[in-house]
Structure formats: C-alpha cells, structure tokens
Amino acid sequence: MALTREQIAMRVANEFKDGDYVNLGIGIPTLAANYVPDDISVMLQSENGLLGMGRYPTEDQVDADMINAGKETVTAATGASIFNSADSFAMIRGGHVDFTVLGAFEVDVKGNIASWMIPGKLIKGMGGAMDLVAGAKNIIVTMMHADKHGNSKLLEACTLPLTGVNCITSIITDLAVLEVRDSAFYLKERAPGVSVDEIRQKTAGKLVVEGDIPEMQL
C-alpha cells in the first residue's frame, strides 16, 4: 500500500545522521520532526529563526509564540537558539545546512524542482525554497508520486516555474525512494506491498530499475 504522509516523514527521518543540521520545509517535511531517532542528535533549522526545533507540542506544551516557517506551533529541543530570519538565511546561504527536506509539485530527471507556484493560482510568496536549494549540500524531496488525477509528478522535464536547477539528489514518495542521477530516476526502495510495475506506470520520467528492489523499512 502507498505510504501516508506520516509514514513518508518516518522514512525521511531515517536519513538523519548524528550531528546533522537539517532544514525542514513546509508540509510533509515538517512532520519528520516527530520521528528523529532517539539515539542521535539532530539540529532542525527553521528559516524563520529557530535552530533546534523539537517535536510538535502536546496540548499542554503549546506556546503560540513558538512557531515554524509554516506558522505551526513547535517545541524547542535542548540547546536550541532563536534569532532573526536574516541570520537564519545567512546560515542557509552560507552552506551551513547539511541537507534540506522540501515538498514539490514536480521533479524531473535532471534534478530540477518546481515547488513555489502554479501559474494562475494565488500564492503568498516564494518563501525560502530558492535559497535552500542553492545553499544546502544535499536535498531530499518528499511528495506524492502522482497528483489527485493520477498524473505523475516525476517527469522528463518540469512544466511549472522552477525553484532550482540540477539540485535534487533524492526523492521519497508514497510509493518509492529514488535517486536522481544520469538524467534518470533510479529506484532504490518501494513502499511495502507496492510493485515495481505500479511505480513504472506512475513515473513519467526515465526510470531505472536495477536488480531486486527492497521494501522500505520504517
């Protein structure tokens, strides 16, 4: 079966390494804050000026002044620091974030990402995604494999305005884990119960399948 949003976030959290500085984008990525393994120390960065973002608060922990970039209430981990957004973007632009996790509308085989606007639809602004894809050392995209109409979001070439060019290294969807290299999507893992054939059918861009593809471990 396809993964839920929370299960995608759980799989993303498996990518975290002890000592990492990680920026979590709005949407599915922010859910990963709840699934950081207990045996490692990861500093989660929010572009609005929080380094050391913790798990989502329980009802008795809610502080309306403690929010992430998506305006959701969060907690602060031990050792957290709070600063202005200019310093936060200086950290991003200076290459001090080990990797970032972003949502996307589309990703293509060249590692291009479209995530900030759909022409004709109201947008609040471009946010920090363009800075993140330019400044982060490693970028993981989390997304649904196909849109609500069944159209693939993993394409030969993006059709929407680009956020970044040749920058995406990995994608985790509700169906699969994929690497982006050599102008193709390389299938590395599949969601439990999801067949390689289903992933092929829902991937519009070039898909490379090498050997037996294991199921994800959440």
Between vectors from CA 88 to CA 82 and to CA 93, what angle results, nearest 5°?
A: 160
Q: Is the dihedral of CA 184, 189, 192, 193 positive or negative?
A: positive
Instruction: List phi, psi (to 5°) of 25.
Output: -80, 175
Q: Catalytic residue numbers?
A: 47
> What's the CA gap between 110 and 18, in Å, rounded?
30
Instruction: List phi, psi (to 5°) of 75.
Output: -115, 165
> Distance between the two ends of the chain, CA-based, in angstroms?
13
Specify the pairing of strand 170-173 against strand 176-181: antiparallel
Residue from 103, 111, 89 nearest 45 by CA: 89
DSSP string for 51-67? EEE-PPPPGGG--TT-B
- Phi-psi map region of 53: left, alpha, beta (phi>0 left; psi -120 to 50 alpha): beta
Specify the pairing of strand 138-143 against strand 99-103: parallel
Whether residue 25 contacts residue 104, with contact meaning beta carbons closer than 8 Å, is answered with no
